[in-house]
């Protein structure tokens, strides 16, 4: 694997690869910088009106959004036309969030206090409005084919969902949900189903058809904190629900019944079908070596039982660090990776077809970010250290990022084709080229 030299980026604004994989955009203060992905050369620098708080590519990689929420200002830039520019000023209404529509020709802005969602057309110079969305940064989702949008609403103490066609931006269906206080929604990858779930105070997840028909209301228990995370398998055949009781429950898409729950136990025993990897620090002599490309830690294969570190919880404090706060399926739906928030140093990897734990990775530091390769069963993760970690069915690997001092990697993302991994941290970002590694590892095909 080849690493580039560190390049500057804002600590809280990681670089963003374009959907076609050809460019990388990043914001530093009020400057928009666009680099060519193949060699990281700067191809354009654009001065914005104020500091960049948000950055997003359009789906066709032709336009970029930059936003400053304090000034309620959105600026839109054309990649191939330096003279073209568009500005959206929400003024006194304020700006809570902004995003592209799937067609890359409409911009959605949400005003402060969730007063309205405004849809701005870059083609027809028209606007459409939807009043009183329940949330600004969530509770809104598009189907993968870009034809419909679902929006959570709250009216007279009840939750509603509006299904809107993206062709004319008209409401085609509106229905009340079975939730008491819905917190978010997500479409299935095949666009056939919509999952809506309640706040942690009530364990309720509802699955609806695109026509608004209720297919299943699922509740695993009551009188305790409920759902914390939800994820669809890319095949749309499974719905994973992570809960505060430290379990992931899998529902099938036939009758929407629970087929298994994965328990995140503090002690795991290695077997022939289950491997536990524990990160260990390098010996003192190795740690003092000046070869910056040399890994400063490695994984140890555990035989027998291993007990993971867990946080001590204070029952008197709100929002406990407890339960399954993150999970994601691999692109082929074969594996599910999950993290239990009260065991922040441990990543659990489950084999979906066999419904069992396949691997557990125990890190020296808390896991900051993890991401599956877009087309292969390869998982990358970082822990705020100067290293990046990989897991596949062939094993686990720790690599030091070649940078002076500690890089402190805190965020990573794959390029769309999966040949490059962008890793950002306290000292900028680096590009990790793994194309050759993938070509020589047949188990990742």
- 176 pLDDT above the threshold of 80: yes
Distance CA 323, CA 342 (A): 7
Integer Cα distance of 339 and 264 in angstroms: 8
Query: Average pLDDT, stretch 22-30?
Result: 97
**Average pLDDT over every residue of 27-31:** 96
180-237 confidence digits (pLDDT tens): 999 999 999 999 999 999 999 999 999 999 999 999 999 999 999 999 999 999 999 9
| C-beta atoms surrounding 296 within 10 Å | 17
What pLDDT digit, counting tens, does each position of 399-445 carry? 999 887 778 999 999 999 999 999 999 879 999 999 887 877 756 55
| Cβ-proximal residues to 195 (8 Å cutoff; 6+ apart), any chain | 185, 186, 187, 188, 205, 206, 207, 208, 230, 232, 239
The predicted-structure confidence for 325-347, as pLDDT tens digits, reads as follows 999 999 999 999 999 999 999 99
Contacts of 289 (CB under 8 A, 6+ apart): none
With a CB cutoff of 8 Å and minimum separation 6, the contacts of 214 are: 178, 206, 207, 208
Residue 224 vs residues 199, 204, 207, 323: alpha-carbon distances, Å = 12, 12, 21, 12
> Would residue 224 be called left, alpha or beta, if left means φ above 0 and alpha means ψ between -120 and 50 degrees?
beta
122 close to 76: Cβ distance less than 8 angstroms: yes
Residue 296 pLDDT exceeds 90: no
Handedness of CA 408, 372, 210, 201 (dihedral sign): negative
Percent of the chain at pLDDT exceeding 90: 87
Looking at residue 7, its pLDDT comes to 94
Beta carbons within 10 angstroms of residue 255's beta carbon: 8
Interval 143-170: pLDDT, tens: 999 999 999 999 999 999 999 999 999 9
CA dihedral angle for residue 227, residue 326, residue 302, residue 308, rounded to 10 degrees: -60
Q: What is the pLDDT of residue 283?
A: 61
The owner of tokens 């054309």 is 78
pTM across the whole model: 0.94
The string of pLDDT tens digits covering residues 50-72 is 999 999 999 999 999 999 999 99
3-state SS of 42-79 is EEEEEECCCCCCEEEECCCCCEEEEEECCCCEEEEEEC
By the 8 A CB rule, do 431 and 4 touch? yes
How far is C-alpha 143 from the chain's CA centre? 17
- Cβ–Cβ under 8 Å, residues 75 and 85: yes
Residue 324: HSE in the Cβ half-sphere, 13 Å Cα cutoff: 27
Bridge partners (DSSP) of residue 361 are 277, 347
Q: Indicate the average pLDDT of the chain.
A: 93
pLDDT class of 31 with cuts at 50, 70, 90:
very high
pLDDT on residue 290: 44
Backbone φ, ψ for residue 303 (5° rounding): -110, 135
Is 293's pLDDT higher than 70?
no
Q: Which residues, listed in sequence order, are joined to residue 86 by a DSSP beta bridge?
A: 76
Contact 175, 212 (CB under 8 A): yes
Instruction: Give the residue from 331, 337, 434, 329 showing the smallest Cα distance to 373.
Output: 331
pLDDT of residue 172: 97
Instruction: With a cut of 70, say whether residue 174 has pLDDT above it.
Output: yes
Question: For residue range 370-397, what is the model confidence (pLDDT) as tens digits?
Answer: 999 999 999 999 999 999 999 999 999 9
Q: Classify 279 as helix, strand or coil.
A: strand
């Amino acid at each position: 694997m080849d690493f580039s030299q560190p390049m500057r980026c804002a600590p809280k604004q990681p670089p963003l690869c374009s959907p076609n994989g050809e460019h990388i955009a990043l914001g530093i203060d009020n400057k928009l910088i666009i680099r060519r992905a193949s060699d990281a050369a700067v191809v354009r620098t654009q001065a914005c009106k104020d500091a960049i708080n948000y950055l997003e590519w359009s789906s066709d990689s032709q336009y970029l959004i930059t936003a400053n929420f304090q000034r309620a200002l959105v600026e839109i830039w054309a990649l191939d036309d330096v003279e073209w520019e568009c500005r959206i000023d929400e003024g006194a209404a304020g700006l809570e969030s902004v995003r592209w529509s799937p067609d890359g020709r409409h911009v959605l802005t949400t005003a402060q206090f969730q007063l309205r969602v405004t849809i701005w057309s870059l083609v027809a110079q028209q606007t459409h409005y939807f009043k009183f969305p329940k949330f600004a940064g969530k509770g809104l989702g598009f189907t993968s084919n870009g034809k419909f949008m679902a929006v959570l609403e709250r009216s007279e103490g009840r939750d509603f969902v509006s299904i809107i066609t993206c062709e004319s931006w008209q409401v085609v269906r509106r229905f009340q949900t079975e939730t008491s206080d819905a917190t978010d929604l997500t479409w299935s990858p095949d666009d056939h189903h919509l999952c809506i779930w309640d706040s942690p105070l009530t364990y309720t997840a509802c699955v609806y058809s695109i026509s608004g028909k209720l297919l299943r209301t699922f509740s695993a228990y009551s009188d305790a904190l409920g759902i914390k995370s939800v994820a669809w398998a890319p095949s749309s055949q499974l719905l994973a629900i992570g809960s505060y009781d430290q379990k992931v429950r899998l529902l099938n898409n036939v009758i929407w019944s629970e087929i298994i729950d994965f328990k995140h136990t503090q002690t795991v025993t290695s077997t022939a079908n289950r491997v536990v990897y524990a990160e260990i620090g390098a010996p003192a002599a190795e740690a003092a070596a000046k070869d910056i490309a040399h890994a400063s830690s490695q994984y140890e294969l555990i035989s027998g039982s291993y007990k993971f570190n867990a946080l001590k919880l204070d029952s008197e404090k709100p929002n406990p660090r407890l339960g399954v706060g993150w999970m994601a399926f691999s692109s082929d739906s074969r594996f599910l990776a999950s993290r239990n928030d009260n065991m922040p140093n441990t990543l659990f990897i489950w084999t979906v077809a066999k419904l069992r734990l396949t691997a557990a990775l125990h890190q020296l530091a808390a896991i900051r970010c993890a991401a599956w390769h877009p087309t292969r069963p390869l998982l990358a993760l970082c822990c705020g250290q100067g290293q990046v970690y990989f897991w596949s069915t062939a094993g686990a690997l720790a690599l030091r990022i070649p940078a002076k001092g500690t890089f402190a990697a805190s965020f990573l993302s794959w390029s769309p084709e999966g040949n490059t991994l962008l890793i950002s941290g306290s000292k900028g970002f680096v590009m990790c080229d793994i194309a050759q590694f993938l070509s020589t590892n047949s188990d990742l095909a």
